[in-house]
Structure 1
Amino acid sequence: MPLPLHGYAPDSDIVTPRLISEVAARFDLVLLETPREYAFPGSPERCVSRHVVRAHPAHVTAPEASLWMVERLAPGQASRRGIIGSLIARLARDGLSWVPAPRAVRRPDRETGDAAPCTVLPQPLTAAHTSGPDSAQPHQKDEKPHMRAYVLDHAGFPWQVTPFIEGAPLPRPDYLGHGGRGAAVAACILDLVHAGGALETIPPAGHCDDGRQGVVAYVKHMVSVIAERHPGIRQRLAPVLPVMETLPDVLASQPVVLAHGDLHPLNIIWKGDVPAPDTAHRDIPGTPGRETTHHAIAGVIDWEFAGARPLLYDAANCVGCVGFEHPSGLRGPFVLGLVHTLHRGGISAGMLRLLPDMVIASRFGWLSEWLRKRDHEMLEMELDYFDILVHQRRALADLWGTSGAAS
């Protein structure tokens, strides 16, 4: 019986059920049929095509089937995906349950050579990927976790396989009033900071080893390009530029830590609502009384931009996206729950006062996205949002600093 393939698949004439089955086997998975279609969270631009399959691990007694996402990557994505695959596999081994560890490529059978003509792509390694037992998948006695590969080259394409996480839809815009969701996001940020501290080396997030220099360089580049190609937009950004002149000092005040790099509510898979404990989020400023629902995180996806970033990078990106949903969210329970939890986790109120400037800097990435897509409606909304952020900058610094320090 042919296996139905469901998902984002513009190349379905190339990616056949047989090919998917071959790829799954190289990741030590036995493919079963897919019962129904699935909605994909995250960005469809993260790969060439992706498919959800139901499979169970090979060579396991009484295996349980689960859902996996098989992605065909663009050639230029393979090296970076390999590095990130090694990183997040390490994080999962270290106990971060909300990190979806990719499936490792099965090593070739030394006796039969059954891997031919499949080739495992060599992965650039750092010390960050070289320690800890691999509890997610069994491995041979002489195989160490850092020797494992997480991207496969097969039939002329690079492939990666990760768990497919099912979750509950994010209630938009109601989530802006959920302080517990903000607190949960902050807990993930703190988890990454602490996990990064245990690594000998944090992989760079991009072309620049120092995450702070990368932020400054990107904003300067965007301002230069906009001034040359879009003078009208450059004029609209005039109130923003004096704020960005102080960005190097804002960044110099922050340590470089491990960050997700694209953390926002839509890159989070949320569990279904469950009754909250009596004490849940009672101390979050701006949260009326006790929240009756607990909003837990099942997983965080889209890790391509992970690596060394300034301390407030993930918080700024998330807060910026919440405020873009509606500016009232900047003062709402979600954001207040986030900053309050960050402070309780060791980030000072003084540091949190720098968050508005980091939010403004983060929006240049979204501005670039709307320009690239020529989305004039979103571009106009983004420029209006810049005006709001600059106008409220000092008041937000006071609010977030005070909310962070509240007990």
Structure 2
Amino acid sequence: MTSPDTTPNNMASPGHNFSPRLTGIDAARGAALLGMMATHLLPTFGPAPGWEPTWIGLTFSGRSSALFAVLAGVGLALATGKQAPRRGAELGAARGGVALRALVIAVVGLALGGLEVNVAIILVHYAVLFLCILPFLGLGVRALSAWAAGWILLSPVLGYLVRPVLLEANPPLQLGHNPNVEDLQTPGALLADLFFTGYYPVCQWISYLLLGLLIGRLALSKQRVQVLLLAVGTAVAIVSKVLGILAMEAWGGRAALSTLPGVRGYPLESMLQVNLTGLRQTDSLWWLATASPHAGTTLDLLHTGGTAAAAIGFFLLLGSWSERIGVRFLLVLSGPGAMTLTLYSLHVWAVSWFVDQPLPSGWTNETMYWAQALTVIAVGAVFALLRRRGPLEWLAHQASRLGSYRPAAGD
């Protein structure tokens, strides 16, 4: 009997691998986890009346979650042949393993969605992204480059065209909350929200997984590839952000958008810098010209995809250096990065304890963040040193093995 191991090193990571390549990938994932936790626990806007963006909002909003998604694609590429994509029966087995892994992630996400928590939980969207990327797992660098470029260019336009139709339905096809088990009773609204009207619209976010697959098909252990990711990713991120700022501030975009009707929780200028979630983004083509976090536009995808590629290159370089000098200083990030499904779920659960409840005496949001961050680092480091998977990673790994099982000829 054969059961090829199709486990990707992603949010439901398979365990700890201390090669410089995967250490750098895990470290990037750990950094993304800590960044997402920061946006959940620390203010991204300053106090009224100015509501000025904070450094947390300017640094992590939109970028940390995009890095998670790109790393998912990288993990899938590493698990399905690296530079030589699997073919035939092996590819079919890999797809089966990824599909069952996605099911585990979706179940965890739906369970967490039932909690009262002021956090946009990514797991159900993440699971759907895994399923959507299955047809692309057998592609090489050239084909993935074409698909990624096309998706980044065209999916925002499709989202812009479809979104108003869904929002103007009666009732609107938008959940307005994290997907949970009860939403399975209204599959139309659930799917519409997951793909177009929700916090992480799958329609556009497939771009990140395609980009991750492309990155994962490169020779990531080679220093020139690592430097290329850092340099090209940084350049793309800078250019796309500059174009977005020019479109809004110099070419009249923000002035035009400010005249549109609608309720905004914060000044439009601040939201354009931190997070466009909650805005309908309809009735003006100027919405497609922003590079704002969570805008889901081409410039946003290029900017956050570029920062993700740069971060991956940076941490791969650090991983290679760590290996050369024999000091595992990246353990503080790679440890939690190898068990993010467990740690992310525990983080969301912990946050739910304090919804509409006072913090412990003497605690602040900053105290809460550092308490959780240090706990995440400590737990991840212990599991890494013991070379053990996290509990949910173990469950996802078993599901992957089950899904990828193919009887050998003659069994």
Scaled by the length of structure 1, the TM-score of the pair is: 0.24
Higher Rg: 1
Kindly indicate which of the two structures has a greater share of residues assigned to strand: 1
Scaled by the length of structure 2, the TM-score of the pair is: 0.24
Kindly indicate which of the two structures has a greater share of residues assigned to helix: 2
Q: Which has the higher contact order (CA 8 A, sep 6+)?
A: 2
